[in-house]
């Protein structure tokens, strides 16, 4: 499987605005949980893990653009 072969298969996720909105709402909720974890922790490794999780969750918000750009 090449680097981007999975993108066309994910088009169904972004084809419905309601589904996409629900997905991004879930991502935002998880970002908020990780942000609270960052504020409350005094363990450096937990802080770094939360930062990494937030970065990954935010990257998923760009998935729609990535999927739709494959079909241009």
pTM of the shown model: 0.82
Each residue of 3-31: pLDDT tens digit?
Answer: 678 888 888 888 899 999 999 999 999 99
Each residue of 35-55: pLDDT tens digit?
Answer: 999 999 999 999 999 999 999
pLDDT score at 69: 85
Check if the beta carbon of residue 33 is closer than 8 Å to that of residue 41: no
CA distance 6 to 10: 7
The dihedral formed by the CA atoms of 68, 69, 71 and 72, expressed in degrees to the nearest 10: 130
Identify the CA nearest to 17 among candidates 68, 58, 71.
68
pLDDT score at 28: 97
CA distance 41 to 47: 7
pLDDT score at 53: 97
């Amino acid at each position: 499987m090449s680097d981007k072969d999975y993108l066309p298969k994910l088009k169904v996720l972004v084809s419905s605005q309601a589904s996409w909105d629900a997905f991004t709402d879930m991502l935002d909720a998880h970002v908020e949980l990780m942000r609270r974890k960052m504020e409350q922790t005094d363990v450096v490794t937990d802080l770094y893990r939360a930062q990494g999780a937030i970065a990954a969750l935010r990257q998923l918000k760009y998935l729609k653009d990535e999927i739709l750009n494959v079909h241009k």
